[in-house]
Structure 1
Amino acid sequence: PAPTFFSQWAYSYLCNGQINPTQLDKNTVADSQLRLLIDQVECSTEQSLQSLTDEILNCGFTGAISVQNKEPIVRAITLHAVLRLQPMLEQLKEGLQLYGLHLLIKQYPEICQPLFVLGGDVKVNAEFVMASIHPQLSEKGTSKHQVELDLVNFIQDLLYESEEGPEHLADEDGPRSITPARFLQWITGQGHVPLLPSEKKDFAVVVKFNHNCEADFGNHSICYPVVSS
């Protein structure tokens, strides 16, 4: 899968080499110590704020340290946290240039953004899996058709129940529980929603039913699906 772990400001920096202040807020700060400092500043009184003087000054704030300046202090801490990552982003840009990817994201920033910035529809859920499944059903009214419908309904119930409480579906002897993402990973080789719109539009899982499996695999009581991707 693509590295969809960049924040919006970091991706914008990769595209144009500039830090956009409008994309920065306290949620931009990933460093746990600086996040704690921001929380302490926001909850501080005039007296407790003075005890944070050294840490605030280390973040580049040059104004008066007072409760009236809480917002400028938080902005200074946020900018300090962002600037610490700038050298790493520069190294990443150099690496992207080796493969011509940096030029590509500069030319098509909106198209490439889903490959770098986490969106709201990347996580696999039961609804997406069931919408992607296209079962090839037998003729209506036949016993085969009813068996196939029962199986599809069972898969649907299984996936929706796994979202409500995957711990209830875990095998006591197994290390992992069933989730829609792991189910999709098993049948397609990928556990995420296709990132490109064209791929997502054409994404489909065709399900064929083998009613003569005993002829193929001999006598058995449990039918194991055959997966090919």
Structure 2
Amino acid sequence: MQQWQRQKKTSPKCRLKVTFFGEAGIDTGALSREFLTEMLAEVENRLFVGGSDKKGKNPVYCLSSLDSNYFRIVGEIMAASLAQGGPCPNFLREWCFRYLCSRETDSIQVSASDVTDVELSLLIERINSTSKDSISDLVEDIVTCGYTGIVSVEKRDLMIRSVVLHSTMRVVPMLDQIRKGLQLYDLPNVMKSHEDFCLPLFVPGDDEEVDATFLLEKSRPVFSETGSAKHQKEVKIMNFLQDYLQEIEDSEKEVPSNSSTTAEGLTVGRIMQWMTGQRHKPVLPSEKKDFVINVKFHHDCDTQHTVCFPTVSACSRTVTFPSAHLKTYCEFKNNLALAICHGQTFDRV
């Protein structure tokens, strides 16, 4: 955040060029996509908080971050990511998006499900379950949320409404800062004119996660002559890749999303990021048309050494598998996991 803020000679509106210290990679697109992917993920984790319904997040109520203009930087990063091929910032609650479009508090429609703050969510639960004898214990918390009426179980709905409004309205200044950052590319005007079109770019949807099917559909293996021994090895490796991706996808469904899905902490999205620099589906029509992952096979590896690993060129979206070390599914699984977890550098120029 502070490095982004320290820009002196250039504007975030310029083409983003990224260099990772100690790595030889030249940015022709993959490095900037990798940077924006990691940056937006950290922004989401640190400055936004979500509820249990997984329908988006609200900005964190943090006045120190507001005072440091961090939320304006968030808006600039969102705008740059959308304009330069990075992931969509589709982790906002719908009411947040509607406010960013119009900046009118009168049109905001919020409910108890839009309260993502843990303490305030718990307060709503306590108000719902309280009795006449115990409601006096909640008076201080309810009044703190701006409720000025009579505190009684008969006024339960009004008290909950006050908590909901308190929870959402207090983060409006954060949204105002984000909106200023989005003005980098005049996005608020575009969002206001095309709300329905822009909604999936900022609000979670159903078809946004990279899955095994998507990754396999975009893979373009370069096979040897049909019927040859090399071709048989290559087909077997592609089958191993399909099985491995589906195994990881199944483990993602069984384990909560905020924990490691496997011993290596891998997801299908992370595997695609290793191959291409991005873990999101392409957004722009031109990107969708040209997005393929080239799969090659190396058959001349020296089998006398212990092991060698798959290599990737993220800028050209090419992965090369060493066939001599991937004879069984167990070998493939262990080899690929090690390559992904310990081979994240951009060394291939």
The answer, yes or no, to whether TM exceeds 0.5 is yes
Q: 2:261, 2:267 within 8 Å by CA — same for their partners in 1?
A: no
Q: 1:226 corresponds to which residue?
A: 311
Task: Select the structure that is richer in helix.
Answer: 1
Summarize the Cα distance change of 1:21–1:150 in structure 2 as closer, same or farther, 3 Å threshold: same
Q: 1:38, 1:77 within 8 Å by CA — same for their partners in 2?
A: yes
Query: Deviation string for 1:94-145 (max 9, x for gaps)?
Result: 2222442222222222232233222222222223222222223334323222
1:182 and 2:260 aligned: no
Residue among 183, 186, 211 paired with 1:97:
183
Residue among 35, 45, 51 paired with 2:131:
45
1:29 and 2:115 aligned: yes
Moved more, 191-200 or 99-108: 191-200
1:69 and 2:148 aligned: no
Q: Name the SS for the 1:77 alignment partner.
A: helix
Q: 2:193 corresponds to which residue?
A: 107
Superposed displacement of residue 196, structure 1: 4.6
Aligned length: 220
1:206 and 2:294 aligned: yes
Query: Deviation string for 1:23-58 (max 9, x for gaps)?
Result: x12221122221111111111112222221222122
Summarize the Cα distance change of 1:159–1:66 in structure 2 as closer, same or farther, 3 Å threshold: same
Amino acid at match of 1:181: G
Amino acid at match of 2:277: G
Moved more, 82-91 or 116-125: 116-125
Give the Cα–Cα distance (whole angstroms) in 2 for the partners of residues 182 and 33 of structure 1.
33
Q: TM-score, normalised by structure 2?
A: 0.56
Q: Cα RMSD (Å) of the superposition?
A: 2.6
Give the Cα–Cα distance (whole angstroms) in 2 for the partners of residues 156 and 122 of structure 1.
20
Q: 2:248, 2:268 within 8 Å by CA — same for their partners in 1?
A: yes
Q: Which runs of 5+ in 2 are unaligned?
A: 1-86, 253-259, 316-349
Summarize the Cα distance change of 1:220–1:110 in structure 2 as closer, same or farther, 3 Å threshold: farther
Q: Name the SS for the 1:162 alignment partner.
A: helix
Superposed displacement of residue 185, structure 1: 0.8
Give the Cα–Cα distance (whole angstroms) in 1 for the partners of residues 283 and 170 of structure 2.
30
Q: 1:173 corresponds to which residue?
A: none
